[in-house]
Amino acid sequence: MLITILIFLIILAAFFSAAETSMMAASRYRLRHLARKSNTRAQRVLKLLERPDRVLGVTLMGNTFAEILASAVATIATVKWFGETGAFISAIVLTAIVLIFGEIAPKTLAVLHAQPIVLLLVRPLSWLLRLFYPVVWIVNVIANGVLRLFGVHADRSETETLSIDELRSIVHEATARTP
């Protein structure tokens, strides 16, 4: 039973890692293009990205919760099986498992395939944000207060614009890729 719970928690951590990375890595221009073609998932992603602090709040809270709970479950299991040295074994083994399966692999996949992944995960992420909004709100109020001490206003969303040179580079790259 503990192993099943542990596997579920690692999958949950992977979900939050992939959601966070794909949200931040997805092309806003492609999403806007899809949204203009009435793609409701793209519209939902763009709506969430109006407040990236909320997206980061729910993904980081979910990921932290899953990883800390996984650590507790793994420690209980290994102490049960190996005695006091089980806690040390748990820390070593779980660190490797979480890094590979809960962080590196899902984030790498999310960077390489950001758009399809973000479109796949946006519905459950939106649902989780609604469900945990009061907690996310409190955490974000505190985090944004800390950021304001450093002159950062995370609740202000800046419009993404391109300079003429950046636009030329994009057009040049796009034409270089087409046969």
* Residue spans per domain, the chain: 2-134
Dihedral of CA atoms 147, 148, 150, 155 in degrees, nearest 10, equals 60
Contacts 24+ apart (CB under 8 A), 42-47: 42/119, 44/122, 44/123, 44/126, 45/118, 45/119, 45/122
DSSP letter at 163? -
* Tokens 């046969």 sit on residue: 179
Instruction: Using the predicted structure, report yes or no on whether residue 157 has a pLDDT greater than 70.
Output: no
**What are the angstrom distances between the C-alpha of 102 and each of 17, 83, 109, 124, 179?**
7, 26, 12, 18, 38
pLDDT tens digits, one per residue of 63-107: 999 999 999 999 999 999 999 999 999 999 999 999 999 999 999
Chain segment 31-61, per-residue pLDDT in tens: 999 999 999 999 999 999 998 889 999 999 9
Note the pTM of the prediction, 2 decimals: 0.82
